[in-house]
Each structure stands twice: as C-alpha cells, then as structure tokens.
Amino acid sequence: MFSVSCYNDFMKKSIYLILDNIRSLYNIGSMFRTADAFGIEKIYLCGISAYPPNRQMEKIVKTSLGAEKIVPWEYHKQALRLIKDLKSHGVKIIALENNVGAYCNTPLQKYKPTYPLVLIVGNEVKGINQNILKIADRIIYIPMSGKKESLNVAVACAIAMYFHSAFKSG
C-alpha cells in the first residue's frame, strides 16, 4: 500500500506512473528510460508487469539503459488497491487509453492537468481494466490521423509523460 510517509512528496507537482499488466519487458524498459528523461518521481509496476530483478532482465536493461537503477519503483500485485489508496491521498488519477471503447475521455491537447497525479497505462492488447477507468479522475487519449487505432504503449506513454512534464514546467 501507499505509505503515508510519502504523502509530503505528493504535495508538490509530482508525476507518478503506473504500468498495469504490461507484457513486454522491452516496453517496460523503454518506459523506465523515458520516465527518467521526463522526471517521473516513481514507477509502480502492477499485475503481470515484470519487475527487476527478473530472469529476463536483459530485455528491460536493453531498452532502459540503466534507468531501472535510477527511477524509484515499487511492485504492487493489485493496481486497483494502489490507485484507490493514492486517490484517497489527493492524487489525481489519469488513465491513458486509446479512443476506441473508452468512455468520458479527453483529447490530450484539450486536457489541463493538476498535480500531483499518477498516469496509468495498461496492457498492450486489453488496455486499462474497466474498474480502474471507472474511478479515474480523467481518461485521456492521443488523437490520431492514420488508419491504425493505437500507438505502441511505450510510445503513447512517452508522449503523455512529455506532455505532463512540459505542462508542469511551463
């Protein structure tokens, strides 16, 4: 569970990241590296998301380039419990989904974040669990012009991390 001793950290303009049920270790490594680049405070790895140390750690390390040693992280088996705990401490719950099938969603460019917040990305195929979407403060998506309906989860997460980091700075 979320530690109350961490509460003061959440009072600043902090951005946290939840990776829920991410299958690909390469995607996890990429998101660690991007989280470091954009000053993400902590990554929460949940569900089936692999976490260091892992027998296939070389796949995470290959794309993270050591960021898994720099960015603080925790593993939580149940993302929903963690999210409810964070929300009870005043952390805004922001779910990043594609525009297909999600409800009450906002295009990234029309969204004005408030902090502290946790950005949630979900499984590469199934997306974010519906129970998590129901309690999110906001569901955001990245509008796309092409024929494909979604981006790679690590790419979409990178765009959202950049947006939140730039908005916080500017």
Beta strands per DSSP E along the chain:
15-20, 42-46, 73-76, 92-96, 105-107, 117-121, 138-141
Q: How many CA atoms lie within 13 A of 54 on its CB side?
A: 19
Backbone φ and ψ for 96, nearest 5 degrees, come out as -100, 115
Could you state, in order of their start, the residue ranges of all structural domains in the chain?
4-169
Place 4 in a pLDDT band, splitting at 50, 70 and 90.
very low
pLDDT tens track for 32-79: 999 999 999 999 999 999 876 766 777 777 777 677 889 899 999 999
pLDDT tens track for 148-161: 878 999 999 999 99
pLDDT the model gives residue 10: 46
The answer on pLDDT for 6 being more than 60 is no
Residues 6+ apart with CB under 8 A from 14: 41, 115, 116, 117
pLDDT the model gives residue 148: 84
Place 102 in a pLDDT band, splitting at 50, 70 and 90.
low
Q: Which two tokens stand for residue 112?
A: 């004005």
CATH classification of 4-169 is 3.40.50.970, yes or no? no
The answer on pLDDT for 128 being more than 80 is yes
Q: Which two tokens stand for residue 127?
A: 């997306």
- Torsion sign over Cα 169, 8, 76, 55: positive
Mean pLDDT for all residues in the chain: 87
> Distance between CA 145 and CA 159 in Å, rounded?
15
Q: Which amino acid is at 107?
A: P
Q: Determine contact, residues 27/152, Cβ cutoff 8 Å.
A: yes
